[in-house]
């Protein structure tokens, strides 16, 4: 039980040392995170739709020769 108590004391001590961001910085970083999340979701969704078309594209290009 003493180990658990010491663990949480250490957590509290470290939390006081952390330099927390102000509101403006938090909003800015949250916006960047949201933008990247949407960007990569659309990117991988596009790849998901593109990959099934590759065999059709290869057969179409092969038919030209």
Residue written as tokens 């990569």?
40
Domains: count for the chain:
1
Q: 65 pLDDT band (50/70/90 cuts)? A: low
| Kind plus residue range of the DSSP H or E element containing 10 | helix 2-17
Q: Which domain range does residue 21 map to?
A: 2-64
Q: Which of 3, 33, 9, 38 is nearest to 21 (CA)?
A: 33
pLDDT (tens digit, 9 = 90+) per residue, 6-64? 999 999 999 999 998 999 999 999 999 999 999 999 999 999 999 999 888 888 888 77
CB 21 within 8 Å of CB 29? yes
């Amino acid at each position: 039980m003493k180990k658990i108590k010491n663990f949480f004391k250490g957590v509290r001590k470290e939390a006081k040392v952390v330099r927390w961001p102000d509101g403006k910085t938090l909003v800015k970083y949250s916006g960047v995170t949201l933008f990247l999340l949407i960007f990569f979701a659309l990117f991988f969704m596009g790849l998901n739709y593109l990959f099934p078309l590759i065999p059709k594209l290869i057969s179409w290009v092969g038919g030209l020769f």
